[in-house]
Structure formats: C-alpha cells, structure tokens
Chains A and B, each alone.
Chain A
C-alpha cells in the first residue's frame, strides 16, 4: 500500500495528479528537465529502510540515545566551555513555543514579538556587562573572540593580538582559524602572555614586555579559563591602552552578579558565552557567544553581526525594531561587509532574555553567591584529600584546578574510577597543559549541593587511596 507521508500533505496520488495536470506535465520526472541525464545518479542508495511510523521512529531514537549517560543520572563536575547550570523551566517553555521555534525572517511588523525579545536579550546582556552596543549572538565564545580580534585589527591597523597562555585550547583554535595564515594579507599574529605560576593570573611583566605599537588588542578572560579571577584587570586594560591597543575581555555572565562588569575596569570589547544563561548543555550544542562594546561609531561600524535597534513606524510614537547598520553585514555587502554573518543561535537569545529577566539583579547576585560558596567549599574539601593539591586554592569563580600528582595516579584513571561512583570528574588538563602535571578542572555551580560535594570528596578519597 502506497501511503501518504505524514510530513508531506501532497504525497497522495490524487494531489500529485491534480498538480501535474495544472502544470501540463505528464510525469514528475519531466520537471527535472534542466538537469542533464549524465548528472543524475543511478546509485541505489544505502540509506536504511525508513521508519515510517512515529512509534517505530521514537523507539529507534530512544534506543540509540538511551545509550547516553548524562549529568542528571550522574554527578558531574565538567565545565571548561560548557557548564551545567539550573535552567529555569520557563526558559524551555518559552523557546519551545512553535511561534519562536519555527520563526522565519518576516517583516518588522509581523515578527514584532521575536524582534522585541532579541532587543531584550541585547539590552539585558548590556546591563550585565556594562555596555551599550550589543549584537545578536554569534556561534560561540570562540567565534566572539575571533570576530572581536578582527574588529580590533581593523580599528587599529595593527596585526598582533595577545592572549593568555592559559586559554581554552578549543577557543584558541577557533581564534586561530579566524586569524589566518602568515602568507596572507590581513593575517593576525596571536602571541601568548605567560602566567604567574603562584596565582595562575597573567604575568604583567611578560605582558609589558610584549606590548608595542604592533599590538592591536590584549585579550584576557575574567574569570580566566582555569577559574582564577584577574584582580589586576584594570592594570591590564591600562597597560593595553597606553600601548594603543584595544582591551577585549571574555566573561562568564553568571559571574556578573558578584563581579564588576568589564566596562568598569576598562574593557573596550566584552565577549563571552551565552550558554549558562538558560541553555542546556546539549552535548556542546548549547554554546553561543556575544560581542558588546560602548556605543561609539569606532566600534559599531566594525560589527559583523546583525543588531536589533529600537526604531519607528509610519505612525508617530509607535515602537518598532529594525536592523541597525545592516549594510555593513555580509547580507548587505557580500565580500565588502565586515567578516560574515548567517544563522547563528538566535533562538537561544530568546531563552537568554527570559533567563535574565527571571533572575533580575537579585537573582544574579544570589546565583553568583551560591556558585562561590559551593565551589569554594568543594575546593577546601578536595584540598584535604591526601595526595590532592590545589595550585590556586582561592581567588576563583566556579572552576578551579585540582592537582593529582601527589596521588601518583593519572587523572584519566581517577576519572575512570569515579565513574564507578556515578561521578564525572573534572576535565583532564594533563595533555593540554602539561606544566600543570596531572591536574583537572573542576566546575561547581548552584546545582551542586553540599551532599554532592561531600560525595565527590569521599569518592576521591577512595579512588586515590
């Protein structure tokens, strides 16, 4: 029996005949007349037989995906680029609305609600980071670093960017991809600034020695990739400015209820992640990035993103939203635009907006406090485990490095043993940062209770014994 496909209304023979008759064609194949015969494949495709009913499809999908373990049936301390946070239920309720989920492009009038939600994303993020000009989100934090470096090199006419030696290797790889190769015009040279082994923070003497009139920007993160808070951020920004370089600061927005916004200590461009703002980890598919600056032409005219601005309609006093500086985007000017843009993570921006408005100022302060208490409690407990040491036991937010050299057991083995306890240990740093020995990056957030941390501690004591 040839049944109609549930996703395709016109897959009945009658409808096809009706449409063919209207066209005046005898067969559907005729419609493909533009394609030369020798281009058409004769292949017998090896795609699996279709699971035509939803009941079969769901069973198959559940069977496959059910092989995953996850961070709710395990106790996870993984972070370092994707973080486990509480996602308020209304965030999911809002972004899963079909109107938002399947929205297209539309007009400023007929998609007013989505455009307003985007504006509210930018406005609230701007409040967190202390910036007035915010673009729609980019693919990821790494992409935000890449674009902001390119903005800085265009603004300064210089070709070198300084970044911390202790940077997320993946984020750095993305930035490198955006930087290009030395054989090319416009290539950006990325140079590392060393760190102070005693604190994990940037080595300012090394920074000073690297600052000259070839440096377009100094990029650093606060908190840094390995969790430490750059308490001399203002000094770094001052040094960069004195050398004529832009200061780009990467931030985790969940810290901004308790840590001052980057604008307060001299950041020219703030970038960072949007995933912790109400987006599930999604196996790494929750990532998103942002770019924010002061509302000055020098910066605004270098944005590669789309940005939503308040604007007007034909009726006085009526509020609307439109795309500011559209012409400088790749949609407006193709290869003459600033970098490029395209589909990004705009749906997540709506969930981010809901997240920021449901937390409010007090929510961010409490969130930051809860993360601080839990992560510092965990650091103290873990530091007391025999053979375990913390190189930087204070002055961090959410994440901290745990050294296992004293146990004589590699991190990979410890994490394997922890899995028998239903625990995902911290991210293994031993291959990316060999100077840190056998160490791991532990992430502790508001989702972790004291009992969870005590359980981790007990398990670590057992597996390192």
Chain B
C-alpha cells in the first residue's frame, strides 16, 4: 500500500524496441513450402508466373525474426497496455465484461473458418444467430428490421445518413432536403457522417435545461430537413423528456428521426426507440452487448429501422423460411446504402446474441438498473471531493448511466487540469477517464461510466484515486502535472504530430526525416 492507502502499482517497463529494429538477417519466423518438384514440374519456374515487369526484385524491408522473438515482443507490448487490466470507467463507451465463453466459441472453426459465400445450407448456425439477434433487438427497440453490416457505431450513423438520402431521393426531394439536424451534445459521428453523406449539418445548442429547447428545434426544422440524428440520454447524463415532441416536429416537416442509442445501457428494458416515434436506431454490440471494445473494433453498429425504411436497406438480410431454414435475402436496388462487405462482423454478432441469451429480459433490466445505481452511487461520493463538481450542477435530478463532471474548480485553485489528473490516475493502476467529445462545454471535463460490471469496491477504489489526486494537486501539484510516474514512459508531449517535417506514421518515414537511412 502507498501512503495514501491506495494500491502500490507499477506498470511493466520493457523498454521494447520497435519490431523493425529487432532480429538478424536470415532469421525466420514462418516457413512455407519451397522446391516442390511435383508442382514445379507442371507449372515451371515460379518466377515466370509473374510478368517480368512486375516481379518484385527488392524484398520488402520487413524485420527478420524467429517465431519466439515475435511472440515475446508482442507479449511484452501487451503487458504495456493498462485498459481493462485496471479499472476502466470509460464514459460513452460502456466498458463491461466480455464473457470469455463466447471468446472461446468464436475462435472455433465453425465460426472462424467459415467463408461468407458458402452455400446458406452450410451457414445455418450463423444465420440462426443473426436472425435470433435481429428478433431480440426488435423486441427491445420496437424496430421492424435490423442489419449488422456497419462496422461500428459511426458506420451505423453513416448507414442512417445514406438511408435518409435514399428515402428522400425516392421521393424526388433530395435536392431540397439538404439538412440534417443534430445537437452539440450528439456524438461527433452523427454530424460527421451526415456531412459525409452530403448533407448540411445544423447543430442545436445546449440550453438551460441540459438540452436544446423545443423552440430551437422548431426554428431549425423546415422543408429542407432530411433527418434528425440525436442521442438520448446524452453524455452528460441528461435525458431529454421532450424527445417525443422533437420526433413529432421533425416528422411534421417530412424528416426522418434517428436515435443514436450509444447510451442504451441505462435505458434498456425501459425505453423503446420505436415507441418514442423514431424511425431508426443504432446499438453498439461491441459495448452495450458484451463484445469487447478491442481498442477500437472489430465492432458492430446494429442498425434497426421501421418497416417504411427497410426497403432502402441494401445490406443482405437473414430471413427464415416456412420450412424453418434460414436464407439470405439480397435486396435488388444495390449500391445506395451498402456500407461494408458481407453480413457484418460475425463473431461480434455471436457475442452479442450470447450475451442477451445469458441475461434475458430480466438480466437486461438488471444491468440497466445497476448501471444507474453505480453511477449515482459514484456521484454521491465524487461530489464530496473538493474540486469536483457536476456538469450543469443546477440540474439536480438523478443522472442516467453516466455523469459528466468538471474539475474546473480544482484547476482554478491548483493549476492541475483534467488532462493532468487523467495522466496521474494511471499511476494507481486505473485506466484514464474519458474527458469529453468535442466541443467541451463543461470546463475540465471528465465522464466516468460505471456500468454493471464493476464491483462497488472497484468503484470505491476509483473514487479514492480521484480524491487522492485532488489532494495531491493541492499538496504537490508538480507531482500531478508531471505524471505519470509509474508507467513505461513519461507523459506524451506529442510535439510534431501536426508538422509535416516531423510526423512519422511509419518507421520508414521516421528514418528519412531524422537522417537515419542506410
């Protein structure tokens, strides 16, 4: 234990070289068959099988390593990753347990070694899972059709923007409906994918009650409105109680309504997107439904929509025949809303299905309950720490599954910022918190999300760490400002990351820019 009663922790420090700097000429990590007279006798000299002008003469400048060297290198690197090895209350991402039973199952050949173009008769297991998950998500959201093609939440938002485009195009008013309305609190993927799909973006502002007013929406909605794309609750933990009215306003001018259900964890089992009037919604299977975040995918943004929008989906859909056999229906009007190849990230779909089968309706509701319980438990304790305040403190109702806080007071008093605190947390074996998506409208923000996985002892420890750091900020601010101290490297400065003479996304670029060639 340390002097402040917290765990004595230090990350592994391997001082690991880059893989490109390792090994020795001639060393091998993987051999493939060579000198095969029984094949050569038929096909001749292998090099003659490539047109002369395209034969690779100079081998790729890759490292030359034995297999155990590669293994140990990446094991060392893995040990220099904190993440969920610590306590990660990473708000907006719903970090939860990833059951290892489905990790093991999806590595079996009956998943891993299937090809998507196999005859559907040979993929009945996969199709049954997809069909089953589709049905369960329909039940939870009220939507009429789910597809799993999007490779993440943002990709599902993009899919919605393209469905919006196809819907209005079919009505002949796409040229007129150029605007998608969102809010400054919405995840950046909503405005960004709307813009990428060719729409102008209207961002409604944050107002007194923690969301944009009905009046603001009414003023923005018009015959130019193509859609509304919005989260609810938002990342501050505020639920917009006027959301049905919002949907009605947008519908009344002919726009579509998309519910970015990234923050589903706190409302699952209670709120159904379709019941609120939404035309479509998105679920993150890699977060809310128990599949791992994996540092950024493989992921699935499950996209559900109404019967009216379903015809605009060009992703393949799994259907069940009268004989009980599953089939894949490929829509005919291809190419307008196809965001990725194939049916989706099958292992992630299986993990989500399995997670729902393990929980059932009662378990889903229990998880939502526990996530609100944990968040409000944390809030009670966090707000007792001098220097920590709640974002939008005048709104005193219980927050949903996460709360955005401010360290603004601490910064004013000590000069220690939220970035400093994030860098100090990791010294105690706690993963850095999420601060805030852009724009930052709460000063020095941080956004923990407790979820249902973490024990109350874990939550207490996490809070104790924040309390200890706030204390350090007063007694020894330099200690926090120069953190981390117990990690493999010191604080990343990141100079040169926007400088073309210095950035280097490959070792080759680094060597050239730093005169290390040859």
- B3 adjacent to chain A (CB < 8 Å): no
Contact of B59 among A61, A318, A365 (CB under 8 A): A365
How many Å lie between the Cα of A127 and that of B19 in the bound state?
13
Could you tell me which residues of chain B, from 178 to 226, have a CB within 8 Å of some CB in chain A? 178, 188-189, 191-198, 201, 203
Interface residues in A95-113 (C-beta closer than 8 Å to B) = 96-113
Q: Which of A63-118 contact B (CB under 8 A)?
A: 64-74, 76, 78, 80-82, 84, 88, 90, 92-94, 96-114, 116-117
Q: Which of A316-361 contact B (CB under 8 A)?
A: 318-327, 330-337, 339-348, 350, 353-354, 356-361
CB–CB B140/A339 < 8 A: no
Given contacts A94-B78, A109-B492, A281-B115, 19 further A-B contacts (CB under 8 A): A41-B270, A70-B114, A72-B109, A94-B75, A105-B90, A114-B80, A120-B19, A124-B63, A139-B339, A170-B341, A181-B198, A183-B169, A259-B55, A340-B158, A343-B286, A343-B293, A347-B297, A366-B32, A380-B42
Minimal beta-carbon separation of B14 from chain A (angstroms): 8
> CB distance B81 to A283 under 8 Å?
no
Give the contacting residue for B298; candidates A34, A105, A348; CB below 8 A: A348
Q: Mark B478-518, 1 if CB is under 8 A from A, else 0.
A: 00001010011111111111101001111111101000000
State which size class the interface on A falls in: 35 or more
State which of A57, A71, A282 has its C-beta within 8 Å of the C-beta of B354: A57
Docked complex: B26-40 residues within 8 A CB-CB of A: 27-34, 36, 38-40
The 7 A-B pairs at the shortest CB distance, nearest first, are namely: A342-B154, A284-B342, A50-B360, A284-B116, A113-B80, A108-B492, A330-B192
The interface bits of chain A over 116-155 (1 if a CB of B lies within 8 angstroms of the residue's CB, else 0) are 1101101110111001111110011111000000100000
Report chain B residues within 8 Å CB of A257: 56, 59-60
* A67 in contact with B124 (CB, 8 Å): yes
| Most chain A beta-carbon neighbours within 10 Å: one of B118, B341, B363, B498 | B341
Residues of chain B lying within 8 A (CB to CB) of residue A344: 151-152, 296-297, 299
The contact string, 1 if C-beta is below 8 Å from chain A, for chain B 415-433, is 0000000110010000110
Residue among B97, B292, B347, B503 with most chain A CB within 10 A: B503
Comparing A204-212, A236-244, A306-314, the segment that makes contact with chain B is: A306-314
**Per-position contact with A for B97-130: 1 when CB-CB < 8 Å, else 0?**
1110111011111111111111101111110110
Give min CB distance, A383 to chain B, whole Å: 11
- A30–B448 alpha-carbon span in the complex (Å): 21
B81 touching A84, Cβ below 8 Å: no
Partner of A324, one of B64, B111, B151, B505: B505
Q: Contact at B341–A141, with CB atoms within 8 Å?
A: yes
Please indicate the chain A residues that have their CB under 8 angstroms from the CB of B126 in the complex: 65, 68, 283
In the bound complex, residues from chain A placing their C-beta under 8 Å from that of B335 are 172-173, 176-177
Known: A40-B271, A68-B114, A174-B339. A109 touches B497 (CB 8 A): no
Q: Which residues of B contact A366 (CB under 8 A)?
A: 31-34
Q: Can you list 25 A-B pairs with a CB-CB distance of less than 8 A?
A: A7-B359, A10-B456, A31-B373, A51-B357, A99-B79, A102-B98, A104-B93, A109-B492, A113-B81, A122-B505, A123-B508, A124-B62, A139-B340, A141-B341, A171-B341, A173-B338, A257-B56, A314-B482, A334-B191, A343-B151, A344-B296, A361-B60, A363-B31, A427-B117, A446-B32
Q: Is A404 an interface residue (CB 8 A)?
A: no
- Is there contact, CB below 8 Å, between B346 and A285? yes
Given contacts A65-B126, A103-B84, A372-B49, contact A419 B119 (CB under 8 A): yes
Contact residue among B294, B342, B488 (Cβ-Cβ distance under 8 Å from A102): B294
**A285 B342 Cβ-Cβ under 8 A:** yes
Contact between B151 and A104 (Cβ–Cβ < 8 Å)?
Answer: no
Q: How far is the CA of A139 from the CA of B453 in the complex (A)?
A: 29
How many chain B residues touch A (Cβ–Cβ < 8 Å)?
223
Q: Is A406 an interface residue (CB 8 A)?
A: no
Q: Are B67 and A358 in contact (CB under 8 A)?
A: yes
A160 within 8 A of B: no
In the bound complex, how far is the Cα of B484 from the Cα of A313, in angstroms? 11
Q: A283 near B114 (CB under 8 angstroms)?
A: yes
B110 and A312 contacting across the interface, CB-CB below 8 Å: no
Q: Is the CB of B198 within 8 A of A184?
A: yes
B275 at the interface (CB under 8 A from A): yes
CB contacts (< 8 Å) of A455 on chain B: these are: none
A-chain residues with CB within 8 Å of residue B2 when the two chains form the complex: none
- A66-B110, A324-B498, A335-B191 as given contacts; A133 in contact with B455, CB under 8 Å: no
The answer to whether B338 and A99 touch across the interface, beta carbons within 8 angstroms, is: no
Is B397 part of the contact surface with A, judged by Cβ < 8 Å? yes
CB pair A65–B492 under 8 Å, yes or no, is no
Chain B positions within 8 Å of A416 at CB level: 119
Confirm or deny: B18 has a beta carbon within 8 angstroms of a beta carbon on chain A.
yes
How far is A136 from B294 in the complex, measured between Cα atoms in Å? 14
Per the bound structure, the CA–CA distance linking A234 and B125 in Å amounts to: 46
CB-nearest residue of chain B to A367:
B32
B54, A362: Cβ atoms under 8 Å?
no
